[in-house]
Amino acid sequence: MREWSLTPSPSFSLTVRLELKNRAGALAEVTRAIAEVGGNLGQISLIERNLKTVKRELQIDASSTEHAEQIVRAIKALKDVQVLHVSDRTFDLHRGGKIHIQNRIAITSSADLAMAYTPGVGRICKAIEEAPEKVFSLTIKGNSVAIVTDGSAVLGLGNLGPEAALPVMEGKAMLFKQFADIDAFPICLATQETEEIIQTVKNIIPAFGGVNLEDIAAPRCFEIERRLQEELDVPIFHDDQHGTAIVTMAALINSLKLVDKEMTKIKVVINGAGAAGIAIARLLQQAQCENIILCDSRGIISKGRADLNEEKRAFAVAQEGSLADALVGADVFIGVSAPGILTPEMVKTMAAQPIVFAMANPIPEVQPELIQDIAAVVATGRSDYPNQINNVLAFPGVFRGALDCRAIAFTTDMYLQAAKAIAGLVPPSVLDREHIIPSVFDPRVVPTVAAAVQQAAREAGVARI
φ, ψ of residue 26 to 5 degrees: the values are -65, -45
Can you give the pLDDT at residue 420? 98
Catalytic site residue 172? yes
For domain 9-94, the CATH architecture is 2-Layer Sandwich (3.30)
**Distance in angstroms (rounded) separating the CA atoms of residues 345 and 354:** 13
For range 5-29, the mean pLDDT: 90
Nearest to 97 by CA among 154, 16, 168: 168
Catalytic residue chosen out of the listed positions 21, 55, 172, 385? 172
- Over residues 304-358, the pLDDT tens digits come to 999 999 899 999 999 999 999 999 999 999 999 999 999 999 999 999 999 999 9
From the CA atom positions of the chain, what is the Rg in Å? 25
- Over residues 183-241, the pLDDT tens digits come to 999 999 999 999 999 999 999 999 999 999 999 998 899 999 999 999 999 999 999 99
Written in H, E and C, the secondary structure of the chain is CCCCCCCCEEEEEEEEEEEEECCCCHHHHHHHHHHHCCCEEEEEEEEEECCCEEEEEEEEEECCHHHHHHHHHHHHCCCCEEEEEEEEHHHHHHCCCCCCCCCCCCCCCHHHHHHHCCCCHHHHHHHHHHCHHHHHHHCHHHHEEEEEECCCCECCCECCCHHHHHHHHHHHHHHHHHHHCCEEEEEECCCCCHHHHHHHHHHHHHHCCEEEECCCCCCHHHHHHHHHHHHCCCCEEEHHHHHHHHHHHHHHHHHHHHHCCCHHHCEEEEECCCHHHHHHHHHHHHCCCCEEEEEECCEECECCCCCCCHHHHCCCECCCCCHHHHHCCCCEEEECCCCCCCCHHHHHCCCCCCEEEECCCCCCCCCHHHHCCCCCEEEECCCCCCCECCHHHCHHHHHHHHHHCCECCCCHHHHHHHHHHHHHCCCCCCCECCECCCCCCCCCHHHHHHHHHHHHHHHHCCECC
CATH fold match for the domains 110-234 and 244-391: yes
Nearest to 197 by CA among 146, 233, 259: 146
Can you give the pLDDT at residue 3? 41
Catalytic site residue 117? yes
For residue 356, what are the β-bridge partners?
333, 378
Instruction: Give the predicted TM-score (pTM) of the model.
Output: 0.89
- Over residues 251-308, the pLDDT tens digits come to 999 999 999 999 999 999 999 999 899 999 999 999 999 999 999 999 999 999 999 9
**Distance in angstroms (rounded) separating the CA atoms of residues 74 and 313:** 55
Can you give the pLDDT at residue 365? 95
**Distance in angstroms (rounded) separating the CA atoms of residues 243 and 147:** 14
Catalytic residue chosen out of the listed positions 117, 202, 265, 303? 117
Q: Predicted confidence band at 9 (pLDDT cuts at 50, 70, 90)?
A: confident
CATH of 110-234, one of 1.20.1440.60, 3.40.50.970, 3.40.50.300, 3.40.50.10380: 3.40.50.10380
Can you give the pLDDT at residue 156? 75
**Distance in angstroms (rounded) separating the CA atoms of residues 461 and 413:** 12
In the chain, where the domains are located: 9-94, 110-234, 244-391
385: exposed, middle or buried (Cβ count in 10 Å: 0-12, 13-18, 19+): middle
Q: Predicted confidence band at 362 (pLDDT cuts at 50, 70, 90)?
A: confident
Q: Predicted confidence band at 5 (pLDDT cuts at 50, 70, 90)?
A: very low
Angle, CA 341 vertex, CA 340 and CA 345 arms, to 5°: 100
Q: Predicted confidence band at 53 (pLDDT cuts at 50, 70, 90)?
A: very high
Can you give the pLDDT at residue 160? 95
| CATH code reported for the domain at 244-391 | 3.40.50.720
